[in-house]
């Protein structure tokens, strides 16, 4: 058996309510004064300590940026006790969104909807400078004098941040970039200027109205010129009329009229969310889009995994081809298939499935315990007992939360085996 990990979460409800009220009080048109208020608002939000538990922090002395940059990293549960490598989600406004995004990733991965991910958050120093690709126009040119540094920031990510993450952590060659507002604008800028740096993009309420829609026009030219491209984009908007809403509609039209082989996209408007609240649900829906088709098909009548072990292996072979790195059938899924066979009375297939899981995940206590249970149910307590013992030993070694259960199974089976041996001697 296996025990799901707990979800780490963080919240700042009074601050969220305050920001939402302020946003509602602003004009619906994205005027210079609104952009100023929004920039201050988001900078304030970014300074709020909203980090999830188990988030580590390090600093890069950036030559590209000419300053120190703090980096936040959240690794998946079990990272320190396994040898697996993981895709990476890079996120602007990292300190603002780390808690809810890390929890969303953990929730979705635990429920088999996405892979486990390393989450990397990049806190701000000069947000407007880093996330805007061009200088502002009109009043924005004077109100946002540092704007236009997105190319430098992207160079920092490509040449300093990504290499440092890949040196420090076990990663797979699949990167996702997520950003909100100016961060959404930056995500689209990164997509069209360095299209091979990331495999997927989540652009939430992208400020495509910035600089008279300069990035929107560049995006249209980029999409017109590509015939094939293996990438995924999810973009969203809250209830946001005015310039940002008009640019979003135009971007959606551009995406629709420029189909590209291998490029998957979705543009969704969440009309019951505002500019501030739209992020959480957008990261959820965005990750679901990126990992569309990840979950194994199931029998609609019974909920059982369709196709058994062979079907699972074929499914994950397709995922391996789509994502570009080797993706084995997860331990929990193989385990579930084994129990499906066992409950159906197909003991030979159950035992073979559990044996396969031992081969795939030899450091897991759970796989030995499950194989032991299959042998015990078929009357082979002599084969089950050493497997229960192995599970107990491994669970103690890795401080498994189910260690007491594995030990109890071993003690029970060992006692049962002694009774069987004693009965044989008395005959």
Cα separation, 141 vs 9, whole angstroms:
39
Cα separation, 82 vs 102, whole angstroms:
19
The closest alpha carbon to 327, from 335, 318, 316, 337, belongs to 316
The two tokens of residue 393 are: 């030993």
pLDDT score of 42? 42
Do 211 and 135 touch, CB atoms closer than 8 A?
A: yes
- Contacts for 77 with CB less than 8 Å, ≥ 6 apart: 5, 106, 116
The two tokens of residue 255 are: 């995406």
Cα separation, 83 vs 291, whole angstroms:
23
Domain boundaries of the chain, sorted by first residue: 13-290, 314-425
Do 297 and 306 touch, CB atoms closer than 8 A?
A: yes
Q: For residue 353, what is the enclosing H or E element?
A: helix 347-360
Cα separation, 344 vs 158, whole angstroms:
52
The arrangement of secondary structure in 314-425, i.e. its CATH architecture, is Alpha Horseshoe (1.25)
The two tokens of residue 359 are: 């081969």
How far is CA 178 from each of CA 70, 91, 160, 206, 370, rounded to the nearest angstrom?
18, 5, 18, 11, 39
- 13-290 and 314-425, same CATH topology: no
pLDDT score of 60? 98
Do the bridges between strand 228-237 and strand 261-269 make them parallel or antiparallel, or are there none, so unpaired? parallel
Q: What does the DSSP assignment read for 1-61?
A: ---PPPPP----HHHHHHHHHHHHHS-SS--HHHHHHHHHHHHHHHHS--PPTTEEEEEEE
Give the HSE-up count for residue 329: Cα atoms under 13 Å, Cβ half-sphere.
25
How far is CA 381 from each of CA 185, 342, 377, 378, 418, rounded to the nearest angstrom?
62, 16, 8, 8, 10
pLDDT in single tens digits along all 427 residues of the chain = 533 333 233 333 333 443 443 333 333 334 443 443 344 344 333 333 344 458 999 999 999 999 999 999 999 998 988 889 999 999 999 999 999 999 999 999 999 899 999 999 999 999 999 999 999 999 899 999 999 999 999 999 999 999 999 999 999 999 999 999 999 999 999 999 999 999 999 999 999 999 999 999 999 999 998 999 999 999 999 999 999 999 999 999 999 999 999 999 999 999 999 999 999 999 999 999 999 999 999 888 888 898 999 999 999 999 999 999 999 999 999 999 999 999 999 999 999 999 999 999 999 999 999 999 999 999 999 999 999 999 999 999 988 899 999 999 999 999 998 888 888 888 7
Do 71 and 57 touch, CB atoms closer than 8 A?
A: yes
- Alpha-carbon 249 to chain mean position: 27
pLDDT score of 13? 38
Sheet strand arrangement including 118-122:
55-62, 67-74, 118-122, 86-92, 171-180, 200-204, 228-237, 261-269
Do 278 and 204 touch, CB atoms closer than 8 A?
A: yes
Alpha-helical segments (H) within 94-209: 94-110, 127-131, 139-143, 150-156, 162-168, 182-193
Tokens 């013992």 correspond to 389
Among the four given CATH numbers 3.40.190.290, 3.40.50.1000, 3.40.50.1820, 3.40.50.2300, the one describing domain 13-290: 3.40.50.1820
pLDDT score of 420? 83
pLDDT score of 424? 80
- Phi/psi of residue 176, nearest 5 degrees: -120, 140
- In the three-class reduction of DSSP (H, G, I as helix; E, B as strand; rest coil), residue 264 is classed as strand
pLDDT score of 53? 54
């Amino acid at each position: 058996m296996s025990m799901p990990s707990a979800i780490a979460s963080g919240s700042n409800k009074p601050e969220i309510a305050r920001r939402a009220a302020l946003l509602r009080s602003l004009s619906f048109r994205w005027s210079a004064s609104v952009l100023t208020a929004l920039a201050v608002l988001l900078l304030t939000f970014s300074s709020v300590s909203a980090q999830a538990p188990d988030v580590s922090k390090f600093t890069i002395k950036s030559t590209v940026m000419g300053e120190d940059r703090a980096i936040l990293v959240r690794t998946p549960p079990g990272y320190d006790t396994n040898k697996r490598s993981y895709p990476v989600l890079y996120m602007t406004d990292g300190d603002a969104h780390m808690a809810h995004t890390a929890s969303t990733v953990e929730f979705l991965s635990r429920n088999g909807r996405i892979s486990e991910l390393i989450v990397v958050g990049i806190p701000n120093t000069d947000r407007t400078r880093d996330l805007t690709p061009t200088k502002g126009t009109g009043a924005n040119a004077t109100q946002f004098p540092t704007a236009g540094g997105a190319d430098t920031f992207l160079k920092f990510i490509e040449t300093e941040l990504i290499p440092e993450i890949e040196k420090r952590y076990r990663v797979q060659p699949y990167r996702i970039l997520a950003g909100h507002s100016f961060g959404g604008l930056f995500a689209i800028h990164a997509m069209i200027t360095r299209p091979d740096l990331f495999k997927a993009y989540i652009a939430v309420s992208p400020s495509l109205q910035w600089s008279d829609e300069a990035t929107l026009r560049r995006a249209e030219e980029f999409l017109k010129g590509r015939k094939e491209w293996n990438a995924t984009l999810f973009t969203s908007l809250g209830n946001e009329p005015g310039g940002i809403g008009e640019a979003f509609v135009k971007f959606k039209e551009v995406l629709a009229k420029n189909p590209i082989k291998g490029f998957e996209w979705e543009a969704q408007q969440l009309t019951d969310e505002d500019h501030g609240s739209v992020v959480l649900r957008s990261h959820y829906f965005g990750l679901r889009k990126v990992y569309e088709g990840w979950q194994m098909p199931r029998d609609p009548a019974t909920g059982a995994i369709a196709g058994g072990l062979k079907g699972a292996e074929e499914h994950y072979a397709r995922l391996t081809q789509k994502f570009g790195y080797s993706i084995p059938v997860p331990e929990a899924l193989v385990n579930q298939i084994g129990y499906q066979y066992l409950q159906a009375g197909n003991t030979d297939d159950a035992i073979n499935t559990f044996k396969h899981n031992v081969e795939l995940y030899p450091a897991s206590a759970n796989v030995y315990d499950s194989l032991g249970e299959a042998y015990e149910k078929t009357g082979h307590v002599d084969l089950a007992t050493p497997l229960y013992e192995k599970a107990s030993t491994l669970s103690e070694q890795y401080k498994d939360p189910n260690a007491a259960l594995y030990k109890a199974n071993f003690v029970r089976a060992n006692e049962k085996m002694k009774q069987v041996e004693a009965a044989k001697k008395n005959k």
